[in-house]
Amino acid sequence: MEYKNIEVKIEKGIATITINRPKALNALNTETLEELENVLEVLQNDDGVKVIVITGAGEKAFVAGADISEMKDMSVFEAKKFAELGQKVFRKIELVKKPVIAAVNGYALGGGCELALACDIRIASRNAKFGQPEVGLGIIPGFGGTQRLPRIVGVSKAKELIYTGDMIDAEEALRIGLISKVVEQDKLLEEAYGIAKKIMSKGLVAVSLAKEAINKSLEVDIDSGMEYEANAFAMCFGTQDQKEGMAAFLEKRAPKFEGR
C-alpha cells in the first residue's frame, strides 16, 4: 500500500511510523487511520521488525487530534463509525506482540493523546503538550481516552483533564505518570531508539509475554491476572531464550538471544 499520510522506515529491527500531515499538525483523518491500521498489520507480520516507534512529522506536533474539519459535519452514525475505527486501530497498537514506543515531539491533543496512551511506553520532548480538549468542541474523547487515561493517571486526574480540557506540559505529564521520560527535542528519537535497542538485547518472546501480562493487569481481576502471569511465565520455559539466558548467567557471560 502507498501511504499518503504516514511515513514508515525500518532500520536494524526498529520500525518508525511518522504521522505526516504537518500542515494540519498531523491531525488524524479516516485515511490516516486506515493507513495506520494497514502498516500495523504489515509490521506485525514482519519478523525483522522487533520494536515500533511512533512519532509526528515536524517540530510542533505529535498529533493535534482527530481531524476537526472531517468531523464537523458528521452524522451520529458516521461519528460512531469514526470512533470505532480509531478505537480498533489503537487497540491494534496495544495488542501487537511487539513493544510500541510513542516519541511525543509536540502537541499530543485529543486523538493524539489517545494514540500515545495506546502505546506501551511514552517519552516526550520538552516542548510536548498533552491534553484532551474535546469538551471544548462539545464532544468527548472517542479513541479510548475515557478508558485508558484513568487507568494510567488515575480517575481524579483523568476527570480533571477531560472535564477542563486543560493542556499540560511534558514535566507535568511526567509527574503524573502519563509519560516516563522528558528529553530535548533533538534527542527524542535517539532516546526512543536507545530504549528500543535495550529491549532488543533481551529475550523478545519474554518481552512480548510481559506486554500481554501487563495489559491483562488493566483488564481482569487479580486472580485471573495472576493465573495469566503464571501461565506466561511457564511458557518462557519452552523458549531457547530462557535456556540461553539462564545458562549465560551461570557461566558468567553475556547471553545471545535469538528471540525464540
Active-site positions read 114, 134
Report the nearest approach of ligand HXC to the CB of residue 85 (Å). 8
Q: Count residues contacting ligand HXC (CB under 6 A)?
A: 22
Q: According to CB under 6 A, which one of 6, 39, 40, 107 is a site residue for ligand HXC?
A: 107
DSSP secondary structure letter of residue 5: S
Residue 68 binding ligand HXC, by CB under 6 A: yes
Return the C-alpha cell found at 149. 487515561
Q: According to CB under 6 A, which one of 35, 67, 120, 241 is a site residue for ligand HXC?
A: 67
55 versus 239: smaller Cβ distance to ligand HXC:
55
Residue 56 binding ligand HXC, by CB under 6 A: no
Laid out side by side, the sheet with 61-63 consists of 61-63, 107-109, 129-131, 167-169
Report the nearest approach of ligand HXC to the CB of residue 135 (Å). 10
107 versus 228: smaller Cβ distance to ligand HXC:
107
Q: According to CB under 6 A, which one of 99, 110, 203, 245 is a site residue for ligand HXC?
A: 110
Q: According to CB under 6 A, which one of 6, 43, 66, 209 is a site residue for ligand HXC?
A: 66
Q: According to CB under 6 A, which one of 99, 141, 203, 245 is a site residue for ligand HXC?
A: 141
Residue 75's contacts (CB-CB under 8 Å, 6 or more residues apart) are none
Sign, CA dihedral 206-212-218-221, equals: negative
- 68, 21 in Cβ contact below 8 A? no
Residues 8-47 contacting ligand HXC, CB under 6 A: 24-25, 27
Q: What are phi and psi of 125, to 5 degrees?
A: -85, 160
Q: According to CB under 6 A, which one of 137, 235, 236, 248 is a site residue for ligand HXC?
A: 137
Helix (H, G, I), strand (E, B) or coil at 130: strand
DSSP string, 15-76: EEEEE--GGGTT-B-HHHHHHHHHHHHHHHH-TT--EEEEEESSSSEEE--B-HHHHTT--H
Residue nearest to ligand HXC (CB): 110
Residue 109 binding ligand HXC, by CB under 6 A: yes
Return the C-alpha cell found at 144. 479510548
Cell numbers 536494524 label which residue?
A: 12
Binding site for ligand HXC (CB under 6 A): 24-25, 27, 64-69, 82-83, 86, 107, 109-111, 133-134, 137, 141-143
